[in-house]
Structure 1
């Protein structure tokens, strides 16, 4: 079955991977129908776990392949496209973070971010929380697309599946951390007074960009194969920005610093095992 998946067009692979990670978010958001309350310690541990997964994925699934692919064209200067892509990816997410109104889980509505105060005031707290999680999912979708687009760019098949297995590991890691993320959005919305159904839909749709971003990322890389080292590093920079800007501060803001940190280490270790074992 896995061999058949590898033989699909990389764009289809990216779409399937994006749908899988979105489905994982839906599964997590559905927890609102079964869980009455979520303790802050659990929420902080989930955010820490997600941060660990994303940090590990940024290196083993994105930065390390960027350096490897860049060596073919740039030789000993392979660090240059990786560095440029990484920094541009972080700046890109900073720009989105600055433009789109949003609210982090640990903040009051008065602390909503975004460049237009009037727009922020018109949006409900639920929508601001939804937009924050959507921003978070943008680099994940792009990372999936770039990883699977690399398969088409490098001409790899089931006979040489190293990069394909690494991309699968990335999809599994992102999907794994999307489950608690879906719950981490739907439960606070339920606590704000939203119905279980409404809270579920907000949580489920927060990751709708992932399959879209995966397809766009794959198309972009395949159409411009020379940018592959930049694109891989770009996705890594965007993911690290989200981790440092959002996940780690949120996981540490509830006073459960030890459990959040240990959860981060666990998430990092699991993602590292997935990537190294599969790749």
Structure 2
């Protein structure tokens, strides 16, 4: 199976990897068929775990390779990492201000009503289901882009150890996509939406990952000098999402200690995957 995967084109490798991450979003959304609700502590723990995975992946899978690749470049190796990292965060900050969305964590207890807590331009003009899907879509843009850039790095260098690292990154992104699918489908089901429709909206948010991954792959394939900046850009975008939404969402229901422990577990799992396999 591995030999078959190695023989594929970078585009097919990227597509298959992000179809897996999309599938994990769908798997999380499918809980709507088996449960009426997810225990709040379980949900907060899953969100915190996702945050830990994203933080670890941002360094070991993205920032560290960006610094390593820039060592022989025309500027100090920290410049591409620093510039790309900040640009990634600023880009997601801008998208966060423009894209109408509703933080999924606000709806876990069912206590929120209307569109209180919605952000972006004219969120009141959109249906609740649309705002929830757009929120997770916002999360998935940098995740898919990161996977695509990682496979683009393999295409540029031909280093098989980096291919293992790219696959490891996709596995990590898949693990943290599971609670994101759940965080869309379960609130919609509680509001009376059918199970099938709630699942549809939950998995739909993962569709952006293959698209943004292919964008990242093609970008660095055509403009190789941008690769260290692109890796750091993806890291900055992921850290912004983690700090702005994932970590606060995991703690706002009072389970702060639990969330902190699961964030550390997620970080440790992704660190082990990256260091041991990549």
TM-score by length of 2: 0.95
Shift of 1:184: 2.0
Q: CA RMSD in A?
A: 1.1
Which aligned pairs between 1:136-155 and structure 2 lie closer than 5 A? 136-154=139-157
Counterpart in the other structure of 2:84:
85
Counterpart in the other structure of 2:127:
124
Q: Does 1:61 align with 2:61?
A: yes
Number of residue equivalences: 271
Q: Does the CA contact (< 8 Å) of 2:57 and 2:172 recur in 1?
A: yes
List 4+ stretches of structure 1 deviating above 6 A. Answer: none
Q: Does the CA contact (< 8 Å) of 2:36 and 2:190 recur in 1?
A: no
Q: Does the CA contact (< 8 Å) of 2:105 and 2:183 recur in 1?
A: no
Separation (CA, whole Å) in 2 of partners of 1:97 and 1:181? 17
Select which of 111, 121, 133 maps to 2:117: 111
Counterpart in the other structure of 1:193:
192
Q: Per the alignment, do residues 206 and 53 of structure 1 end up closer, same or farther by CA in structure 2, a change over 3 Å counting?
A: same
Counterpart in the other structure of 1:243:
242
Shift of 1:10: 1.1
Counterpart in the other structure of 1:12:
12
Q: Does the CA contact (< 8 Å) of 1:46 and 1:184 recur in 2?
A: no
Separation (CA, whole Å) in 2 of partners of 1:274 and 1:106? 27
Q: Cα deviation per residue 1:174-204 (whole Å; 9 max; x = unaligned)?
A: 1111122211221111112211111101110
Which aligned pairs between 1:1-279 and structure 2 lie closer than 5 A? 1-74=1-74, 77-107=76-106, 108=112, 109-114=115-120, 116-117=121-122, 120-154=123-157, 156=158, 160-279=159-278
Separation (CA, whole Å) in 2 of partners of 1:101 and 1:179? 23
Separation (CA, whole Å) in 1 of partners of 2:225 and 2:17? 23
Shift of 1:111: 2.0
Separation (CA, whole Å) in 1 of partners of 2:177 and 2:273? 16
Q: Does the CA contact (< 8 Å) of 1:143 and 1:217 recur in 2?
A: yes
TM-score by length of 1: 0.94
Please list every run of 5 or more consecutive structure 2 residues that lacks an aligned counterpart in the other structure.
107-111
Separation (CA, whole Å) in 2 of partners of 1:181 and 1:35? 16
Q: Cα deviation per residue 1:48-86 (whole Å; 9 max; x = unaligned)?
A: 0100000000000000000011112146x1000110000
Separation (CA, whole Å) in 1 of partners of 2:223 and 2:187? 42
Separation (CA, whole Å) in 1 of partners of 2:102 and 2:184? 11
